Amino acid sequence: MQIIFSEVLKQTRQLCTISPNGSMLATVSQQKLTVQEHPSLVVVQNFVLDEPPQLLKWSPDSQFLLCASFKKAVLQVFSLADPEWKCRIDEGSSGLVSAQWAPDSRHILTTSEFYIRMTVWSLINKSISYIRYIKELADPAAFSADGKYLAVAERRDSRDHVSVLSCDTWELIKNFVPDTQDLAGVSWSPECRLLCVWDNLLQYNVVVYTLDGQCRGEFRKKDWSLSIKSVAWSPTGQFLAIGGYDQKLTILNYITWSPVAEHLHASSSIERDTVVYKECSVVSSRGVPNLPSSPAATKYEIQANHSEISLPSIKVPPSKPNPKQGVGVIKFSLDNRYIVTVNDNMPCIAWLWDIERLSLQSVLIHNQPIKDLNWDPVEPRLAVCTGGNRFYMWTAEGAMVVPLPSSTENFGVDSVSWHPRGESIHLVGKERMCLCFCGGDRNLTALS
């Protein structure tokens, strides 16, 4: 497989992203926003920012760019079609904690400090709409995949509520009280017919509702199980995956909402046909390992004897709040065949589960904790990074370590994302970024 790297570009606060249509790359360096063509990296436009931003987002139609400064509670919007057109939104004393595009690319949603309200700003007629009673969550609002509806988690009169709004008029369609004690999140199914909500901390409770607030199904554990940490729908909507603080991955079917599989993240889950890849240092031709002072070259080695495999883990102090424990990452491959998970108290390991066989397909053991991982949006290829001068790739046929060129010394990869058509991988570090083009045969062979 031929691998080519682009030139290294400077960026600030990891603010660099490829447009949804895949044609442009936007990068922030200090107070300058640069837009370049993909893959040529020819500069198309430069914009000057009033304030150093902490957020950069493309509009869904790839026509606008949003930059947000949370410190100053200011947003700036730029148009690629009309570089002279500019928009500035100032939240003032209300403060700003989040900003996002609506699916129509003509409205922006902002959340004020202390979650007092959510504001909908129109770029068409400059109108403003308010959504109140927002519950203080990391993601209190979720858009349906078809862009027609917005679901908002609310807290009214000491009770959880869910409001469903129309994205055409921003008017309320339905408000209902979910069967939760402490609502932790909301998520639409891919076909936009169902809405999943779940409890936090003390209750292992998932409830699925229709658009009009009718309960379609629920799943609870009443054996004093630790609560839910993450939830993810399969691309087809046939499965709902739940990651718990109990280090288990539970997969529910969409008919009875009962488990079809439950996987524990432990050495006992590694069966004989599971392929285990372990990152190991490459020894030079003289038999001397790479010196610690230089970025040591590594490779994957297949572990033949499963009984001797040692899984690195972190002992969680019971007295500390928000423990690094449980399945915090769940991601389905686009073909609905595989799930990759990360158990937070085993941060160096990526677990790959085969949905068809309902078993563990592969285990990737790294030397450092995983920073980021993402699936190719076209075919089942996984990219992983751990903050070092390399990244990792996996397919069902094999896995490999991909070192960065020697010219990128001291470039640690903290984030990996794919081009919308799988044409390149976006490698981002603290102050630099580059593109990796994986051409030729996409099938990987294991290095052992």
Contact assessment for residue 377 and residue 420, using Cβ atoms and an 8 Å cutoff: yes
In order, the DSSP letters of 304-370 are: --GGG------PPPTTSSS-S-SEEEEEE-TTSSEEEEEETTSTTEEEEEETTTTEEEEEEE-SS--
Q: Which amino acid is at 191?
A: E
CB 165 within 8 A of CB 176: no
Would 59 be classed as within a structural domain? yes
- pLDDT 10s per residue in the chain (448 long)? 789 999 999 999 999 999 999 999 999 999 999 999 999 999 999 999 999 999 999 999 999 999 999 999 999 999 999 999 999 999 999 999 999 999 999 999 999 999 999 999 999 999 999 999 999 999 999 999 999 999 999 999 999 999 999 999 999 999 999 999 999 999 999 999 999 999 987 889 999 999 999 999 999 987 766 789 999 999 999 999 999 999 999 999 999 999 999 999 999 999 999 999 999 998 754 555 554 434 579 999 999 998 888 899 988 776 777 778 999 999 999 999 999 999 999 999 999 999 999 999 999 999 999 999 999 999 999 999 999 999 999 999 999 999 999 877 789 999 999 999 999 999 999 999 999 998 644 444 333 2
Instruction: With CA atoms as reference, report the closest residue to 118 among 138, 103, 96.
Output: 96
Residue 163 lies in a domain: no
Asked if residues 328 and 342 have their Cβ atoms less than 8 Å apart, the reply is yes
Task: Reduce the DSSP state of residue 267 to 3 states and report it.
Answer: helix
Q: For 308, phi and psi rounded to 5 degrees? A: -100, 5
pTM > 0.85: yes or no: yes
Contacts with 305 (C-beta within 8 Å, 6 or more apart), sequence order: none
Range of the domain at 114: 49-129
Q: Does residue 435 belong to any structural domain of this protein? A: no
Tally of domains in the chain: 1
The backbone torsions φ and ψ at residue 65, rounded to the nearest 5 degrees and listed phi first, read -125, 135
Residue in the structure block whose two tokens are 């990526």: 350
* 116 domain-assigned: yes
Q: Is residue 119 part of a domain?
A: yes
Say if 120 falls within a structural domain. Answer: yes
Cα(169)–Cα(129) distance, rounded to whole angstroms?
Answer: 10
Q: Is residue 149 part of a domain?
A: no
Q: Is residue 102 part of a domain?
A: yes
d(CA 50, CA 305): 59
Token pair, residue 394, equals 């996996």
| Spatial distance between the Cα atoms of 200 and 429, rounded to a whole number of angstroms | 33
